[in-house]
């Protein structure tokens, strides 16, 4: 009787070990299958289902450009899975708006496309006598207005090399100290090498080209301590004045 009991117990232990061995052999396959199923579910959820689809656009950084314009140009694919949206294409389209200098586009889970724009900042108003173009620090004209903003110097650009001349004028304007820029009523330029500042007091500053603009601005600040009608800093190492009051 005792031997029969011992044999039965041994058989039970052997059976348990066999089941454990079989379970251990199948465990990696079970885990792998679960991972595949979970991965497939995640892929379906993010890339093929409507659960995480785009339902709108959020715009920030817009001041002068209407948000509606940015949304229309962005043309975000409403209803498309957010993970599949081409953010680069949206950013490129928004950067095509003349008044937008840059655009960054990101995803805001679970349903939004976020667009952060950087608008162009005008530094001069370029006019040919009949129109006023706002121009930023890169020399890009991005908006036409009917009247000159009082806070910006007016650049009167003529000649055939208009684009190059405008960029030169912008370089000069950017080099001016704020106090001096505020005195400039207009900037005349028939070419990149013949730039003249016209101050509101009737004083003229012959600037020449945009080369060494920072150096010219420093020299002019010292030179203007002497009252004169014309200051010529086109050769900053040899500045001259005309109509000086003594």
Confidence band, pLDDT 50/70/90 cuts, at residue 9: low
Nearest in space to 94 (alpha carbons), one of 121, 112, 70? 70
Q: Which is more confident, 200 or 245?
A: 200
The pLDDT score that the predictor gives to residue 127 is 80
pLDDT tens by residue, 92-138:
999 999 999 999 999 999 999 999 999 999 888 888 767 889 999 88
Tell the residue number behind the tokens 């060494």, with chain if given.
212
Strand (E) or helix (H) holding 17: helix 2-47
The pLDDT score that the predictor gives to residue 87 is 96
The pLDDT score that the predictor gives to residue 12 is 63
Residue 8 has pLDDT above 90, yes or no: no
pLDDT tens by residue, 146-198:
888 877 888 888 888 888 998 999 999 888 888 888 889 899 999 999 999 99
Q: What is the pTM of this model?
A: 0.72
- The boundaries of the domain holding residue 36 are 1-48
pLDDT tens by residue, 196-230:
999 977 899 999 999 999 999 999 999 998 899 99
Arithmetic mean of pLDDT over the chain: 85
% of the chain exceeding 90 in pLDDT: 51
The pLDDT score that the predictor gives to residue 147 is 83
Residues 134 and 230 in one domain: yes
CATH code assigned at 77: 3.10.20.310
For residue 144, the cross-strand partners are 133
Residues 143 and 214 in one domain: yes
Q: Is 85 exposed, middle or buried (0-12, 13-18, 19+ CB in 10 A)?
A: middle
Residues 71 and 149 in one domain: no
Q: CA-CA distance, 181 to 162, in Å (whole number)?
A: 22
* Total domains present in the chain: 3
The pLDDT score that the predictor gives to residue 161 is 84
Residues 90 and 103 in one domain: yes
Cβ partners under 8 Å of residue 169, min gap 6: 124, 126, 155, 157, 187, 189, 195, 210
Residues 174 and 206 in one domain: yes
Tell the residue number behind the tokens 């009247």, with chain if given.
147
Residues 148 and 165 in one domain: yes
Q: CA-CA distance, 14 to 4, in Å (whole number)?
A: 15
The pLDDT score that the predictor gives to residue 204 is 95
The pLDDT score that the predictor gives to residue 142 is 93
pLDDT tens by residue, 60-85:
999 999 999 999 999 999 999 998 99
């Amino acid at each position: 009787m005792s031997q029969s009991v011992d044999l039965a117990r041994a058989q039970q232990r052997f059976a348990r070990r066999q089941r454990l061995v079989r379970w251990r052999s199948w465990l990696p396959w079970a885990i792998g299958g679960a991972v595949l199923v979970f991965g497939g579910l995640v892929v379906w959820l993010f890339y093929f289902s409507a659960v995480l689809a785009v339902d709108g656009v959020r715009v920030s950084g817009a001041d002068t450009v209407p948000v509606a314009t940015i949304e229309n140009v962005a043309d975000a694919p409403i209803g498309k899975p957010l993970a599949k949206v081409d953010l680069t294409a949206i950013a490129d389209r928004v950067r095509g708006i003349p008044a937008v200098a840059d655009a960054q586009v990101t995803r805001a889970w679970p349903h939004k496309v976020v667009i952060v724009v950087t608008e162009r900042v005008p530094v001069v108003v370029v006019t040919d006598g009949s129109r006023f173009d706002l121009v930023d620090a890169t020399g890009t004209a991005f908006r036409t207005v009917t009247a000159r903003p009082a806070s910006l110097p007016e650049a009167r650009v003529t000649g055939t090399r208009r684009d190059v001349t405008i960029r030169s004028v912008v370089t000069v304007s950017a080099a001016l100290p704020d106090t001096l820029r505020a005195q400039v009523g207009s900037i005349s330029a028939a070419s990149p090498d013949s730039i003249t500042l016209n101050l509101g007091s009737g004083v003229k500053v012959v600037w020449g080209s945009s080369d060494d603009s920072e150096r010219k601005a420093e020299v002019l600040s010292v030179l203007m301590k002497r009252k004169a009608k014309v200051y010529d800093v086109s050769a900053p190492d040899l500045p001259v004045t005309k109509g000086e009051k003594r």
